[in-house]
A = this chain, B = another copy of it.
Amino acid sequence: MKRPTIKDIAAAAGVSKGAVSLALNGRSGVSELTRSRVLEVASTLGYRPSVTARALSSASADAVGLVLVRPPRALGDEAFFFQLIAGMQSEMSCALLLQVVDSREAEIALYQRWWAEHRVDGVFLVDLLVSDPRVELMSALGLPAVVVGGAGHHGELASVWADDYAAMTSVVEYLKSLGHQRIARVAGLASLLHTVRRDAAFASSVVDGVVVAGDYTAEAGARATRELLAMDARPTAIVYDNDVMAVAGAEVAASLGLAVPAELSIVAWDDSVLCQHGRLTALSRDTFAFGARAARALVAVIDGASPTDVEDVLPELVVRGSTGPV
């Protein structure tokens, strides 16, 4: 099976290749009569322009890129990213080029390669590091990019984020209002910018707080929880940096015979089916809408808009059965 090309249309319509190109792209230089004839021929022939060829003439690649740095196995449990991707898709007419790599170096190399190969019109940057080399890279390459969830402004790039600082503060205030004093936090990866933000907010609003590092896995959540509950003055409330760790923590508490929320209050960051089912109080944000917003921002930048920062609505605390007065 052979696809019709611009040449076929030119021949069928009795005009030149150039005229067809002008007509199809709605540009001036051809008469309305010719344009309509070309369009008609194109549609009867079922013509579809080849992005490949078009991209070659330094036009659009009709795709945007997303690189995830993860051990592939771990990815499947992180509903967050899938929600995010689904949301992005909802606002994009173009395709998403997705690749999972296992190191930051590979990620950078891949972005460079995609750029060099004219494969993408722009990219999303997720999991922003404290001083992330990617920000510089994008500027240097001139590759349109949107920082997703990077809490704040980043160089010349557009940014879409939620205020982790305010959110953490509101969680702590909520717990304090219930009478909690000894509040603990099971944090995420320390290299990530939002972890630092949450750390800062936590430190400044909690008087008697302790932070344990985690890595978003159930094992880390369980281990951190055991550690916290074994302390002399054990905390009366724990805030987890994601849902998986929170659920694991809840199970540890149950296995130790601790009543939730009577003896221990639990809050999860990021809501999910897991939290809903486990009846955990969670900081809920609409990840799907967040992804959609990021996609809109990227499309705008690609279309030549000057990069802007979009602050997402503050995550909302959904109170379920896992939090209560001391």
Contact = CB atoms under 8 A, between A and B. Distances in A.
A50 B116 contact: yes
A55 to B, nearest CB: 5
Given A61-B52, A86-B100, A277-B247, A140 B1 contact: yes
Given A86-B75, A98-B85, A52 B118 contact: yes
A89 B72 contact: yes
User: Is chain A's interface secondary structure helix, strand, loop, or mixed overall?
Assistant: helix
A48 interface: yes
A1 B193 CA distance: 28
A89 B82 contact: no
B95 A95 contact: no
Interface string A276-297: 0110000000011000000000
23 contacts: A1-B141, A1-B142, A48-B113, A48-B117, A50-B56, A52-B56, A52-B117, A52-B119, A56-B56, A63-B97, A75-B83, A75-B86, A76-B82, A76-B83, A79-B79, A89-B99, A90-B100, A95-B98, A97-B98, A218-B273, A244-B273, A247-B273, A274-B277
A110 B141 CA distance: 30
A277 B77 CA distance: 13
A234 interface: no
A118 B56 CA distance: 13
Contacts of A244: 273
Nearest to A47: B116
A59 to B, nearest CB: 10
Interface in A1-31: 1, 3
Contacts of A142: 1
Interface string A40-56: 00000000111111011
B99 A97 contact: no
Interface string A54-95: 011000010101000010110111110111011101100001
A96 interface: yes
